[in-house]
Structure 1
Amino acid sequence: MEKVPTQQYSVIRDGIKYGSYIFLLFATGWLLVILYLGKYPSLLAMAFLSFTFGLQHAFDVDHITTIDNITRKLINDGKNTHGVGFFFSLGHSLVVMLMTLITIFFVHWSKEKLPHFQHIGNLVGPIFSGTVLIVLGLINLLILIQTCHQFNQIRQGHTDQPADQMTHWTLGIFHRALQLIQHSWQTLIVGFLFGLGFDTATQISVLATSAVATNNVVPWLAVISFPLLFTAGMCLMDTSDGLFMSTAYSWLFSSPFQKVYYNIVLTGLSVTTAFFVGIVEFVQVAGRQFHLHNQLVQWCTRLNFQHLGIILVILFIITWSLALVVWRRLNHQIK
């Protein structure tokens, strides 16, 4: 009975902690804008757009899918997952920050070399993110298979083996492949490597905004406000997503049977989206590298990851709601 209040306190405490970091980024960004706003009024619109781009970019389906699957993986390992969204987003934003600094201090060099880095990013970023998503999907698929077995065991009245104990030997090589991710802060590295595919429209928009400001001889401290606000916006949404996933998974698993039931429903959705997004990213890379133009490549290329992310959020809400309704009916029948 004391576990729920303790978990709620932990979520509130970590939410305040990460929220303060985000507020610091947001406040610093706007402070830099205000300092130079009198001389450069155009900073206001560019700063607002940068923050909006960050909010929008957080809805990319690869963000939501990765945060969800890493959260599921760490919860299964008994780890604190409240910072998964924050650190993933922070690592992702570091790429934008670094490229903005290069744009500011090496304007002519960046004009010549940036297209080359974008070409490399178009290859490295999606391959890494696609690989991570597929590996996470495989890990959670194995967890799903084991959970289904536990579900059947509990329904048959075999409760000798507690439902919250997972036998990790079934996870094999795929589980060992991600043993490096044992804590929330380590997802910063994952987010950074995801960000190397900096062809994303929002990231390029922030860099372009920085370049325009630099060419107009805007002080570099003012230009730094753009990636800071972009980071604040993206961290705000991704952190909220991570905290929601952590809270929902932990709060709903209040009994062994209920825990196994929700694991099946929600891990199934996580596995499906991880495989889907990972495969789409590989198809997109193959289409660009080998100049393929078949119907599959064209369909994958036309997919809007931000629209897919919004759809995925809606699917999660619908799945949680349906699972709750079905669980209550199923639980009533069992009683």
Structure 2
Amino acid sequence: MTQRLDARVRDPGGRGAVVVIVALHLLGWGLLLLAVVPSGITYASTGPTAVAVGLSAYALGLRHAFDADHIAAIDNTTRRFVDRGRPASTVGLWFSLGHSSVVLLLCLALVVGIGALGRAVTDDDSTLHEVTGVWGPLVSSVFLLLVAAVNIRSLRRSGGSAGGPVWRIVSRVEHVVDRPTRMYAVGFAFGFGFDTATEIGLLALAGSASLGAVPWWAVLTLPILFAAGMSLLDTVQGAVMRRAYTWSPDEGSRVVSYGVLMTGISAAVAVFIALVQLSSVAYERWGWQGPFAWLGGADLETLGFWLTGVLLVTWGAAFVMTRRRIV
């Protein structure tokens, strides 16, 4: 409990996160409105204006932040850091920066003329999609299962059980991601799965622009706007979850009940999202039927909105219940 209270008062990363997010917005929108638009640059010979394309890129970033695997990864990692008394306010920011770096690098490849890459990304039947369609969900699922195991381990430890050999392995894995900056690598690894419409949509916009007479800096304005939108909402999600986990009731028994409830939900969410992703791979790539087809057919982007709502409602309900001494 002392660690959790310490995490609430000593977490200076919030101001730095605000600075980074504001800088991304100023850079992206500044380039678009003060350089691209006045220069008369259009991203396509026919179609929407440069401002409309920029808004689309930004909206895709906002939308991508609600992917269920984003929310589960940020939620579970934030929960673990708070439990260990470590800074957690920038978990979402570092994750989103790592994720958006993949998109930026791909757009940079399109700018320098690697057109085959753009076609491979937007073609569902390409070899790149075959590989990343397995790699992306596999990496994110393994991470979610590991971080869920860490949270379950914390429940066992609070109950007086340290666990056996499996938990000792999990403990070693936990040291790999032991600070918010390490989430950059996690987000980068998550970014190599191109099954989400938001990423493909942004790359399609950049690819179309790179085929025309559009300067490289104008094309790269799009992934910057994408990163600005995604980093904003991912950081807000992490901050909200940190607030949920650092808050605690006043009495000892209710502290335990609240902690068990939130840790259990966090772990269950991670396991469920991992199962959905693995089932999707089994169904779409290998044709497995039955429960794999049912789970694999879930839309992770839409599921992310529901997941956000469930987490917020649960936290609010727990707050009200503990205040009334029900929990």
**TM-score between the two structures when normalised by the length of structure 2:** 0.87
User: What is the aligned partner in structure 2 of residue 162 from structure 1?
Assistant: none
Alignment partners' CA distance in 2, 1:7 and 1:46: 41
Cα-to-partner distance string for 1:62-116 (whole Å, 9 max, x where unaligned) = 1111111111122222211111110011111111011111111124332465433
CA positional deviation for 1:184: 0.5
The answer to whether residue 124 in structure 2 is matched with residue 125 in structure 1 is no
User: What is the aligned partner in structure 1 of residue 101 from structure 2?
Assistant: 94
- The 8 Å contact of residues 103 and 210 in structure 1, kept in 2 or not, is answered as yes
- The 8 Å contact of residues 279 and 293 in structure 2, kept in 1 or not, is answered as no
CA positional deviation for 1:253: 5.8
Secondary structure of the structure 1 residue equivalent to 2:324: helix
Point out where structure 1 has 5 or more consecutive residues left out of the alignment.
151-165
Distance 1:254 1:63, change over 3 A: farther
Distance 1:4 1:116, change over 3 A: closer
- The 8 Å contact of residues 28 and 224 in structure 2, kept in 1 or not, is answered as yes
Superposition RMSD in Å: 2.6
After TM superposition, list the pairs within 5 Å mapping 1:134-213 onto structure 2.
134-147=145-158, 149=159, 171-213=167-209
- The 8 Å contact of residues 254 and 325 in structure 2, kept in 1 or not, is answered as no
Alignment partners' CA distance in 1, 2:118 and 2:229: 27
Aligned equivalent of 2:70, options 63, 67, 71: 63
Secondary structure of the structure 2 residue equivalent to 1:218: coil
Cα-to-partner distance string for 1:230-259 (whole Å, 9 max, x where unaligned) = 111010001011111112211326554333
CA positional deviation for 1:274: 0.8
User: What is the aligned partner in structure 2 of residue 219 from structure 1?
Assistant: 215
User: What is the aligned partner in structure 1 of residue 117 from structure 2?
Assistant: 110
User: What is the aligned partner in structure 2 of residue 239 from structure 1?
Assistant: 235
CA positional deviation for 1:204: 0.7
The answer to whether residue 48 in structure 2 is matched with residue 37 in structure 1 is no
- The 8 Å contact of residues 118 and 203 in structure 2, kept in 1 or not, is answered as no
Distance 1:6 1:285, change over 3 A: closer
CA positional deviation for 1:119: 2.2
Alignment partners' CA distance in 1, 2:243 and 2:57: 29
Point out where structure 2 has 5 or more consecutive residues left out of the alignment.
43-48
Question: Structure with the greater relative contact order (CA < 8 A, sep ≥ 6): 1 or 2?
Answer: 1
Taking only the aligned residue pairs, the percentage that are identical comes to 31
Alignment partners' CA distance in 2, 1:169 and 1:322: 35
- Amino acid corresponding to residue 139 of structure 2 in structure 1: F
- Amino acid corresponding to residue 29 of structure 1 in structure 2: G
Aligned equivalent of 1:316, options 311, 320, 326: 311
CA positional deviation for 1:57: 0.7
- The 8 Å contact of residues 7 and 86 in structure 2, kept in 1 or not, is answered as no
The answer to whether residue 12 in structure 2 is matched with residue 16 in structure 1 is no
Query: How many pairs were matched up?
Result: 313
The answer to whether residue 120 in structure 2 is matched with residue 76 in structure 1 is no
Alignment partners' CA distance in 2, 1:70 and 1:59: 16
Distance 1:7 1:142, change over 3 A: closer
User: What is the aligned partner in structure 2 of residue 257 from structure 1?
Assistant: 253
Alignment partners' CA distance in 2, 1:272 and 1:50: 33
- The 8 Å contact of residues 100 and 227 in structure 1, kept in 2 or not, is answered as yes
Higher fraction of helix? 1
Aligned equivalent of 2:297, options 271, 295, 302: 302
Distance 1:230 1:124, change over 3 A: same
Tell which deviates more after alignment, 81-90 or 306-315: 306-315
CA positional deviation for 1:283: 1.0
Secondary structure of the structure 2 residue equivalent to 1:252: coil
- The 8 Å contact of residues 57 and 223 in structure 2, kept in 1 or not, is answered as yes
- The 8 Å contact of residues 107 and 211 in structure 1, kept in 2 or not, is answered as no
Distance 1:258 1:286, change over 3 A: same
User: What is the aligned partner in structure 2 of residue 49 from structure 1?
Assistant: 56
User: What is the aligned partner in structure 2 of residue 285 from structure 1?
Assistant: 281
- The 8 Å contact of residues 74 and 80 in structure 1, kept in 2 or not, is answered as yes
Alignment partners' CA distance in 2, 1:111 and 1:86: 27
**TM-score between the two structures when normalised by the length of structure 1:** 0.85
Distance 1:219 1:229, change over 3 A: same
